[in-house]
Structure 1
Amino acid sequence: MRALARPVTAAIITLTTLFGYAPQPVLADRGTGVPPRVRYDSAAVITWEPCPEDALVQCGTMRVPADWAAPYSQQIEISLARRPASDPSRRLGVLMVNPGGPGASAVTMALDVESVSTEVAERFDIVGIDPRGVGRSAPILCDQALVDTKPAPMPVSESGFAQIATFNQRLAADCASRSGPAFYHADTISVVRDMEAVRVALGEPQINFYGASYGTLIGQLYSEYYPRNLRALVLDSVMDHSVSAADFMDQAAEAAQDSFDEFVAWCARDSRCVLRGRDIKSIWAQLLERAAAGTLIDPYDPPSTLRAWDLIGAAFSAFYDPQWYSFAHYVQDAEQPAPAGRRARMPVDLTPHSFPAVVCQDWSLPVDGYPGYRERLREMAVRAPQMLTSPLVLTATAGCLGWPIPPSNPQRPIQPASGPVLLVNARHDPATAYAWARQLTDKLGPAARLLTYEGWGHVAYSHSRCVSGAVDRYLFDLTLPEPGASCPAIEPEPYGVG
Structure 2
Amino acid sequence: MRRRPMVLATLLLLGITATTTTATAAPAPGVGWQPCAPTTTVECGTVTVPIDYARPSTGTIDVAVARARATGRKQGTLVFMPGGPGDSGVETLVDGNVVPPAVAERFDVVSFDPRGTNRSHPIMCDLALLANLPNFVPEAGARLSVVQNYARDLGTSCRQLTGPLVDHVDSVSVARDIDTIRAALGEQQITLYGRSYGTLTGQMYAENFPWRVRGLVLDSVFDHSLTPSKFVTDAAGFGEDSFNEFEKWCAADTTCALHGQDPGQVYGDLWAKAIRGDLPVTPMNLASTVVNYFYKPNWAGAANRLKALSEVRSTKAAPEAVPFPQIATCADQRVRISSQHEWEAWWRKQNAAAPTVRTHFAFALFSLCSAWPAATPNPQHRTTIGGVPPVLIMNASHDPATGLEWARSVNRQLRGSVLLTYDGWGHGVVDRTDCTRAVFTNYVLAGTTPWPGTHCPAGTV
* TM-score (ref. length: structure 2): 0.89
Contact conserved, 2:166 with 2:374, CA < 8 A, in 1?
no
Partner Cα distance (1:385, 1:159) in 2: 19
Identity %: 36
393, 398, 401: which one pairs with 1:431?
401
Contact conserved, 2:140 with 2:275, CA < 8 A, in 1?
no
CA deviation vs aligned residue, 1:260-317 (integer Å, no higher than 9, x gap): 1111111111121122222222222222222212234xxxxxxxx3332222122111
Ranked by relative contact order (alpha carbons within 8 Å, sequence separation 6 or more), the top structure is 2
Partner Cα distance (2:147, 2:190) in 1: 42
Residue 192 (structure 1) shift: 0.8
Residue 385 (structure 1) shift: 0.1
Distance 1:475 1:260, change over 3 A: same
CA deviation vs aligned residue, 1:312-358 (integer Å, no higher than 9, x gap): 1221111111121122122223223389xxxxxxxxxx999664431
Contact conserved, 2:18 with 2:210, CA < 8 A, in 1?
no
Contact conserved, 2:25 with 2:176, CA < 8 A, in 1?
no
46, 53, 72: which one pairs with 1:68?
53
Unaligned ranges ≥5, structure 1: 1-30, 297-304, 340-349, 493-498
User: What's 2:8 paired with?
Assistant: none
SS at match of 1:461: coil
Partner Cα distance (2:41, 2:270) in 1: 50
Distance 1:226 1:351, change over 3 A: farther
199, 209, 213: which one pairs with 2:182?
199
Aligned pairs (5 A) from 1:137-148: 137-148=120-131
Unaligned ranges ≥5, structure 2: 1-16, 315-319
Contact conserved, 2:419 with 2:452, CA < 8 A, in 1?
yes
Partner Cα distance (1:337, 1:136) in 2: 38
Residue 314 in structure 1 maps to residue 289 in structure 2: yes
SS at match of 1:47: coil
User: What's 2:9 paired with?
Assistant: none
User: What's 2:24 paired with?
Assistant: 38
Aligned pairs (5 A) from 1:298-313: 305-313=280-288
449, 452, 455: which one pairs with 1:483?
452
Aligned pairs (5 A) from 1:168-207: 168-207=151-190
Partner Cα distance (2:370, 2:141) in 1: 13
Residue 130 (structure 1) shift: 1.5
103-112 or 371-380, which deviates more: 103-112
- Residue type matched to 1:464 in 2? T
Aligned pairs (5 A) from 1:252-267: 252-267=235-250
Residue 69 (structure 1) shift: 0.7
CA deviation vs aligned residue, 1:29-65 (integer Å, no higher than 9, x gap): xx998462134246x3323322225552221212111
User: What's 2:44 paired with?
Assistant: 59
Partner Cα distance (1:101, 1:178) in 2: 22
User: What's 2:301 paired with?
Assistant: 326
Residue 462 in structure 1 maps to residue 431 in structure 2: yes
Partner Cα distance (1:196, 1:78) in 2: 12
Distance 1:260 1:269, change over 3 A: same
Distance 1:53 1:454, change over 3 A: farther
CA RMSD of aligned residues (A): 2.3
Residue 453 in structure 1 maps to residue 428 in structure 2: no
User: What's 2:7 paired with?
Assistant: none
Residue 421 in structure 1 maps to residue 407 in structure 2: no
Contact conserved, 2:143 with 2:340, CA < 8 A, in 1?
no
SS at match of 2:153: helix
Residue 157 (structure 1) shift: 7.8
User: What's 1:290 paired with?
Assistant: 273
Distance 1:164 1:56, change over 3 A: same
Contact conserved, 1:91 with 1:122, CA < 8 A, in 2?
yes
SS at match of 2:307: helix
Contact conserved, 2:130 with 2:321, CA < 8 A, in 1?
no
Runs (4+) of structure 1 exceeding 6 A deviation are: none
User: What's 2:226 paired with?
Assistant: 243
Contact conserved, 2:68 with 2:97, CA < 8 A, in 1?
no
280-289 or 206-215, which deviates more: 280-289
- Residue type matched to 2:158 in 1? C
Residue 442 (structure 1) shift: 1.0
72, 77, 80: which one pairs with 2:62?
77
Residue 158 (structure 1) shift: 7.9
Residue 368 (structure 1) shift: 2.3
Distance 1:415 1:170, change over 3 A: same
SS at match of 1:423: strand
Partner Cα distance (1:412, 1:293) in 2: 40
13, 20, 35: which one pairs with 1:50?
35
Distance 1:226 1:54, change over 3 A: farther
Partner Cα distance (1:185, 1:292) in 2: 37
- Residue type matched to 2:359 in 1? T
CA deviation vs aligned residue, 1:93-143 (integer Å, no higher than 9, x gap): 110002211101111222232422222111111111211111211121223
Residue 154 in structure 1 maps to residue 137 in structure 2: yes
Partner Cα distance (2:254, 2:138) in 1: 39
Distance 1:257 1:35, change over 3 A: farther
Partner Cα distance (1:475, 1:162) in 2: 49
Residue 101 in structure 1 maps to residue 79 in structure 2: no
Contact conserved, 2:22 with 2:209, CA < 8 A, in 1?
no
Partner Cα distance (1:460, 1:250) in 2: 23
